[in-house]
Chain A
Amino acid sequence: MNLISKLLNKIKPLLGFSNKNAVNVARPAKPAEEPTNIGVNGRIDADIVVLRDHDRVIISIDYDFKDVLGWIEWDVHANKLDLVQKSGSVAELGSVIPANDVHDFANLNKVFVITRYNQEKIMHNLSLVIRN
């Protein structure tokens, strides 16, 4: 019996059973992950102006996007503008363009977007993706 007991004690650690005398080596704790997504998701309540002169369109949005702007998506059917940021966040802008005038924008693939950046106003040249 004593021999069996000794054998069991020897093979327990090999089988993964805890040993009361074993010393626990603490693993270093993972550093807390800082939030990296600084983009804006969902509907934003911002003043907006769209200025069109032939094939040039300026969209001015009174909003300070902390993230880098990626592109503008325009869902023609729902008539809403979305601003996609580099983090993948999608800010919903709604739309101020009436359905009657939608065809004026159908052939565009670039728009200029003015946003706030701290106290400055900056303008970006963004791709316009139109979804019908």
Chain B
Amino acid sequence: MESQMNIYTNSIAAAEKLLPEAFIGMAVVKENGFTDDQIVAFVPDTKVPSFDILSGPISAKLVVHGQTTALAIAPDSNASIGQIVTSALNAVSNDIMESSSYSPTQKPKK
């Protein structure tokens, strides 16, 4: 089943660093629920199969500093969430760099 998400961030580098844990956080909330007085600690870069959230592809609207692009994340059971996110964002980053409307002021922070 495909998920549709919106992602907002201040840089591609921030997304690379923080999206894996955000996905895991979302998985925790979806699969286990979350009570008001609960604080959950977790390892951000977990293998995919533990979480149904990544059992199907994710289409996301990625907004980096107000600039919108599309992001497709395809799960790979051999990869960690961090690796999947990084490869997806690298593709987005390359698209932005190759885009004719690309402006140097929009250069993603690496």
Contact = CB atoms under 8 A, between A and B. Distances in A.
B22 A58 contact: yes
A100 B21 CA distance: 26
B8 to A, nearest CB: 4
Interface residues of A, number: 26
Interface in A93-109: 94, 96-98, 101, 104
Contacts of A62: 14, 17-18
B21 A60 contact: yes
A123 B29 CA distance: 10
Band of interface residues on B: 35 or more
A123 B5 contact: no
Interface stretch (B37-45, B76-84, B97-105): B37-45
A43 to B, nearest CB: 13
Contacts, number: 103
B40 A123 contact: yes
Contact of A48 (B9, B34, B36): B9
B21 A114 contact: yes
Given A56-B30, A112-B34, A49 B39 contact: no
Interface string A95-132: 01110010010000000101001001111110000000
